Amino acid sequence: MAKPIYILNGPNLNLLGTREPEIYGSQTLDDIAKLSETHAQSLGLSTAFHQSNAEGQLIDWIHQARNDGAGIILNAGAYTHTSIAIADALSAAELPVIELHLSNVFAREPFRHHSYIAPVANGVICGFGATGYRLALSAMSDILNPQSSS
Ligand code: DQA
């Protein structure tokens, strides 16, 4: 059984659908989990999709992915801009990492322009709403199977 792609979602993302929909869109996190699973299947991948408001829980899942996962797609929410601990956990995981945001953080407040995660990620996807989850899975598929990427 191939290892899953861990798709980890940080604080406040459980409110998607009702939280500032003009910024984050109208799809719920459950909708996003389903579209991720469907897209992953079309790429021959599986997912382990999680959300937590707690930094330590996100770190525990990153540690789990270190043994049990093939890669990590992480929307760390506001922890992106604050958490050295999450960046350290990602470095320790030694897996492909994609940083993801629904909104275009560079078009927003200056405090959202800095990421502790970007330096330890293979790449960053932001500004495409829920579509970003599909883009991230496609990018992860190409990272994991470079010979089959087009
Ligand atoms: C976010 C962007 C972050 O700046 C913000 O704190 C979030 C969501 C996004 O997906 O656009 O909670 O990660």
CATH number for the 5-148 domain, one of 3.40.50.9100, 1.10.260.40, 1.10.240.10, 1.25.40.10?
3.40.50.9100
CB under 8 Å to 21, separation ≥6 — which residues?
none
- How is the chain split into domains, by residue range? 5-148
What is this structure's pTM?
0.96
pLDDT in tens, 16-28: 999 888 999 899 9
| pLDDT average, residue stretch 112-119 | 98
Contact residues of ligand 1, CB 6 A cut-off: 12, 75, 77-78, 80, 101-103, 105, 112
Nearest CA to ligand 1 atom 7: 77
Instruction: State which ligand 1 atom lies nearest to the alpha carbon of 112.
Output: 4
Q: Angle of helix 55-68 relative to helix 84-93, nearest 10 degrees?
A: 10
| pLDDT average, residue stretch 92-102 | 98
For ligand 1, mutation pick of 101, 115, 125, 126 (most atoms within 8 Å of CB):
101
